[in-house]
Chains A and B, each alone.
Chain A
Amino acid sequence: MTLLQQALAKGEFTVTAEVAPPKGTDTSEMMENAEFLRDKVHAVNVTDQQSSVMRLGSLASCRLLKEAGFEPVFQLTTRDRNRIALQSDLLSASALGIENVLCLTGDHVSLGDHPQAKPVFELDSVSLLMTAKRLQGGVDLAGNELEGKPTFHLGAVVTPGYEPMELQLLKMERKIKAGAQFFQTQAVYDPELFRRFMEGASDLGVPVMLGFVLLKSAGMARYMNKNVAGVSVPDWIIDEMKKTDDKVATSIKIVVRIIRQMREMCQGLHLMTLGWERHVPAILQEAGINI
């Protein structure tokens, strides 16, 4: 059992935050950002070419973090690799001691920095989960037996603010059937919406970690409302961010307030920090979350 899995199984309020690998080989900033999270979160997600922007690999970064004493969550998308490469990376992850895997489809290549690339998407998040589960059973997707079985703790994502919500819940159910053992959500800022979502999701019996993108400015909030699907930042937050002279303090205040309102509804918190990892300790302290 991974540490993340143990925390969720024990019913602890579980916290993850993400770091992004660099564009290039200089990992110093990523490692510095991770340091802010040490002993503050249960595990650190490592994004896989987030927004389809080519970067250092998630798996290599996970390994570096593990060597530095962190518990990594390997984010794996189906955008860039066919089933041979995906299965191989899953085996590699397990062999390197990286067992938390967040299975994603990924953004389309047209949104990233190599729009000329071939979008692979041979598997999707559901079939990737199914594939990982099969590997754990000692058999690959083609039915061949493995010498040595990998071990995984499989996660997936869900978008509570999706319209129609029922369709997201159906997909969530399909992911669970395929092998998902925990969920991290897309960012949610509306407790009422999250309550409605959790009414449907808690029946499914799999831990859900509330996702949160730290808002750096009113402009960023407006941008997300316009461009990020399933995310809606309420007007009161935008107003507060607009009025303030101290964006960091206000952003933290907002996050803390919302976490307090929503933490009882779910099993954990997933912070998407986008470079603001250094503010995670303050957020968790003010929200009264100690791991």
Chain B
Amino acid sequence: MWDWGAFFHYLHNTYLLTGAGVTLALSLASLAIGLCCGTLAALMRMSRNPLLSKPAAFYIWLMRGTPVLVQLIIIYTGLPQLGIRLNVIESSLIGLGLNEGAYLAEIIRAGILAVPRGQFEAARSVGMTHAMTMRIIVLPQAMRIIIPPLGNTFNSLLKTTSLASVISMEELLRRTEVLIQVQFKVLEIFIVAALYYLVMTTIWGFIQERLEAHFSRSHAAPKDEAGAEAALQPNARIEKVLLSHDAQ
């Protein structure tokens, strides 16, 4: 039987809410680690120097070719065999962060490749160094391409963190399971947990929309010349690149 009383009771249970907080913190921290690793890997991967591009390609291949669950278990349970002992939080952050980084690397690389060659050249021609060109000219433009798929991977990440429950990370799913073992309200408590995930992903959806609008502001502005229509075509092409990337 469905127990409404229990449902409403667990809806504001501090133990579960704290678990949701841990899920959110874990997702944000993994995203931050992933963005660092991902940007670095993307830039290395695009380097002409094989000593940089090959290791980056290997990292991306390895992380994307194996399940996160297996990676987490290897890091937490397997590495101690080699004398590397990481606690639950370290293992979760490294596992999820490195995995996220590999996916983000490909997204960031696609974003940078979508910035026309002429933008690099113009930046160099006004005396910017390679690093300045990337930071001031290329990455801000790549953001427009990067944000939609990045938002989607963060949405996935919010849910993927639940895998860390397997190595006993005290996030939302783990706490839900613990609670069920003492309270036996399986459906009610799981539905509450599902609602928490839903709230987090929905709020993120709104934030993502705002970010997308922000980074495409130079393209959303109204035209004041018929001649500008022609300039639209390259962007239509970029949008297509983006869509096809998204679909992969």
A binds B: no
